[in-house]
Amino acid sequence: MKIVNILWLNCEIIYKFCSPTRKRTWHQHVVPYEDGWAVRRQGNKRVTSKHRKQRTAIIKAKKMVKRYDADVIIYRKISGILERISYAYESGIP
């Protein structure tokens, strides 16, 4: 019974991350915005929230991401990605 459960769980994980019909992601991007920082959901043009400090934007993004097993992607002020924090397996899925 354990083997069947593990195999089913592995198939579910593979389907979740490799399916061509996958729904939109909940990844949140912390990006420079005007004179501060913003949190923007991946694929959205509009920002979710605006912040004066990068730290507060990261905290907000982390709160949102934990609900949906997604990632926080943090950008540098000038260019490029600074860090990516993944919460994909926080809900107990191995």
pLDDT in tens, 22-75: 567 899 999 999 999 999 999 999 999 999 999 999 999 999 998 888 999 999
Confirm whether 6 is domain-assigned: no
Confirm whether 90 is domain-assigned: yes
Confirm whether 91 is domain-assigned: yes
Predicted pLDDT of residue 13: 46
CA 73/CA 61 separation, integer angstroms: 9
Confirm whether 10 is domain-assigned: no
Confirm whether 84 is domain-assigned: yes
49 burial level (CB within 10 Å; 0-12, 13-18, 19+): middle
Confirm whether 9 is domain-assigned: no
Predicted pLDDT of residue 25: 82
40 burial level (CB within 10 Å; 0-12, 13-18, 19+): buried
Domain count, the chain: 1
Residue 59: which domain range?
22-94
